[in-house]
Amino acid sequence: MLFFVFSSSFLVKILIYIIDFKEGIKIFNYQNNKLLKYSLWENVSYILLLGPMIEELISRLYLDLKKRSIILTLVCIIIIGLKITNLNFDLKFYFFTFIILIFTLFILNSRQDSIMFFGKKYYSFIFYFSCLTFSFLHFSNYTRVLSDNYIWLLPILVLPQFIMGIFFGYIRIKLGFFWAILLHIFMNIPAVLIYITTKL
């Protein structure tokens, strides 16, 4: 896994510099500047703990097809969606969340057998959808800085995350959600070590 992920990351970075060196520098500077907004330990805690937990909750928790996992995933998506769109956590937010959760519970209770049947029948689709979701979560590393001429590169740029998603998903199914988070944290350790050594 380490070989596939790090070699694909390296190749993707080389590719962007070959296609347009200035674009590669721009992406590199943007990602470094993003880290400057927060302190060293805020960045480390996000990269090592908060980031992996949020990404795993959204991307892979529901892979067990259990009711509570689907609902927790949905709640996380709603909260993060509202955070991204800068909506306040006011009465409308709680009402909106409550309605969605009640609707979801109703669907899950009334169609539990259908959902399990659909989930088992199309499980490979659901699994690879989770890998794509994980990749899409990393689009934000590039969308704000990537020139319009190079938007077509987005799927290539997040290829390492897609590969990680396959491994994390496999671990999540075989060993459980906790182990997927631990593997995710483990995979982020080299990035954190590089970041810390450049800042100290």
The pLDDT assigned to 91 comes to: 64
The pLDDT assigned to 109 comes to: 67
Q: At a CB cut-off of 8 Å and minimum separation 6, what does 110 contact?
A: none
Tokens at residue 113, please? 């057998």
Tokens at residue 106, please? 């109703």
The pLDDT assigned to 85 comes to: 61
b/e string for 126-150 if b means 16 or more Cβ within 10 A? bbeebbebbbbbbbebbeebbeeeb
- Half-sphere exposure of residue 153: CA atoms within 13 angstroms, side-chain side: 22
From first to last of the 200 residues of the chain, give the pLDDT tens digit: 778 888 888 888 888 888 888 888 888 777 777 777 778 888 888 889 988 999 999 999 999 888 788 888 887 887 777 666 655 555 666 676 677 777 777 766 666 666 666 777 889 999 999 999 999 888 877 877 888 888 888 888 899 999 999 999 999 999 999 999 999 999 988 888 877 887 66
Torsion of CA 163, 189, 77, 137, to 10 degrees: -40
Secondary structure of the chain as H, E, C letters? CHHHHHHHHHHHHHHHHHHCHHHHHHHHHHHHHHHHCCCHHHHHHHHHHHHHHHHHHHHCHHHHCCHHHHHHHHHHHHHHHHHHCCCCCCHHHHHHHHHHHHHHHHHHHHCHHHHHHHHHHCHHHHHHHHHHHHHHHCHHHCCCCCCHHHHHHHHHHCHHHHHHHHHHHHHHHHCCHHHHHHHHHHHHHHHHHHHHHHHC
The pLDDT assigned to 147 comes to: 81
> What is the pTM (predicted TM-score) of this model?
0.79
The pLDDT assigned to 99 comes to: 75
